[in-house]
Structure 1
């Protein structure tokens, strides 16, 4: 939930502006960089994929859950840089906090306010949603304040993404059990990605990106496999994108094609940079692998929605991918 790994992309060290040199017109850009706003495009798909696994259609409660997820995600971003401000002063002096463009107290205040807002929005989505959002918020804070530097860091990040998907199911129907399989798939992707990101600034062994590459292949296989007859959705969702007059077989065929397309887009987005990082696990290529893995989260979410026979949610999620790529060219998502 907080960007899958270490913040910032290594750049040649340079001296950032002093606090008194920062002008008001530059402060919004600094906050955009601090919060990594382009990464927000990877968030709504979590909730939509979770909502797709339960009966009924997304409604106002689902929308509240999306708002909650966005707030908790950004809380993690702000808290991440606040927790790393001393380390970043040496390794990433261009970041907003060490460069003086954002004050540490302001970043911590923003993290607290965003967390409180996220929990309040989850409460509007209902008690089941709040019951998921509370441990999600706790996981985000625990990760940023210490777990990310321990061996369980990647698992904590994976748990946060999985909980975010379960938030969508809880808000939409009050139940999370149908969403556990999708949450496990999303969490597995996040686990592999976060493990790669731990070597983002120093580089590392080719084994880590190779493992992430193998994980991507395994997930793609699971997503493209035709469902067994026992796996079904309610008729209202299965047929919601069918042409007029078409029957369930046509809808099922179209749904499978959409799922395969999204799964292949996921594989194409993640696999190539992972492969390059495996050939040469240098910091620049590892950073590109992390960025590719983050962007690949969107088509993965779309594939999970399509896998649950919710093509509208899949298409909405997939439409966020080009927007994320466009804005990521201006502000790093890692």
Structure 2
């Protein structure tokens, strides 16, 4: 898009927080890893749906926050005039419609999960994020995104619930810290997030891979045998380091700048977490594909902020 008020590529990249987009495919892949069977085209349609719904939330977030951003973040695309508010809202609506259409293409079970996911995204951006329920709503959205991947492979959502709970816990911690990113001054919040990260990392490292089929022993994934412990351990360490270090810095010096870095670290840590969950589910190929997105996200984050 070009022209005054419509915004150029850089403005839309900032509005949509493109580096954070790399944290999305791993949700669906981690969910698919928990279910028996092999991921197929339906899983790819679910990934595309997830990407659209995520970006819809990004555009809607800035549209809903345009007045607040004018006072606290005047450099953002909407208050700076680089993107019109109406264009952001139109993009949010179009991306939501596209996300639901792609979910329908992935099958009725996927649409059944994508519909409440879209509703949660809109509810969060339009009101819940300003209430105590905000972090829980965001955690619910991430958990639903993982379940979206699970329903594209036979087995339903039940096997994916533990992984969804782990991803939701991480998201709850990041979102809680993010509520202080413009003001800082919340060392206890950062310490709590740091403790949650440590607990999750320990759980990931101890988790066992493979898929349990009712009435049968745990079986290896079709795309690879149960991942070696070093792979799971390495991914757990990468997750802990990516999120833990900036959380610690924010706890010791809770300035707005370090709090924002803590939020960015937490967002980027979603990728190794997703990879570890895929490995834990017995899908090392999905784990490695997901992990490969991390350096791409880090490179783009040097040009476009993820928060």
TM-score, normalised by the number of residues in structure 1: 0.87
Instruction: Specify the alignment match of 1:305 in structure 2.
Output: 278
Change (3 A) 1:90 1:236: closer
Residues in 2 aligned to 1:38 and 1:205: alpha-carbon distance in whole angstroms = 26
Instruction: Specify the alignment match of 1:315 in structure 2.
Output: 288
Contact kept? 1:213, 1:275, Cα under 8 Å: yes
Determine whether 1:80 maps to 2:61: yes
Determine whether 1:235 maps to 2:220: yes
Residues in 2 aligned to 1:275 and 1:207: alpha-carbon distance in whole angstroms = 11
Residues in 2 aligned to 1:32 and 1:207: alpha-carbon distance in whole angstroms = 33
> 1:228-286, CA deviations, whole angstroms, 9 ceiling, x for partnerless residues?
9996643343xx34xxxxxxxxx44x432211111110001011000000001110000
> 1:293-330, CA deviations, whole angstroms, 9 ceiling, x for partnerless residues?
00000000000000001000000000000000000000
Determine whether 1:255 maps to 2:240: no
Instruction: Specify the alignment match of 1:60 in structure 2.
Output: 41
> Which residues of structure 1 form unaligned runs of 5+?
1-19, 242-250
- Give the count of matched residue pairs: 302
Instruction: Specify the alignment match of 1:213 in structure 2.
Output: 194
Report the secondary structure of 2:8's partner residue. helix
> Which residues of structure 2 form unaligned runs of 5+?
none
Instruction: Specify the alignment match of 1:159 in structure 2.
Output: 140
Instruction: Specify the alignment match of 1:112 in structure 2.
Output: 93
Contact kept? 1:53, 1:178, Cα under 8 Å: yes
Give matches, 1:116-127, under 5 Å. Answer: 116-127=97-108
Residues in 1 aligned to 2:218 and 2:50: alpha-carbon distance in whole angstroms = 25
Determine whether 1:27 maps to 2:12: no
Runs of 4 or more consecutive aligned structure 1 residues displaced over 4 Å after TM superposition? 228-233
Change (3 A) 1:21 1:52: closer
Determine whether 1:291 maps to 2:264: yes
Residues in 1 aligned to 2:296 and 2:113: alpha-carbon distance in whole angstroms = 28
CA RMSD of aligned residues (A): 1.9
Report the secondary structure of 2:121's partner residue. helix
Residues in 1 aligned to 2:53 and 2:210: alpha-carbon distance in whole angstroms = 37
Residues in 1 aligned to 2:210 and 2:108: alpha-carbon distance in whole angstroms = 33
TM-score, normalised by the number of residues in structure 2: 0.94
Report the secondary structure of 1:54's partner residue. coil
Contact kept? 2:210, 2:218, Cα under 8 Å: no
Residues in 2 aligned to 1:307 and 1:181: alpha-carbon distance in whole angstroms = 11
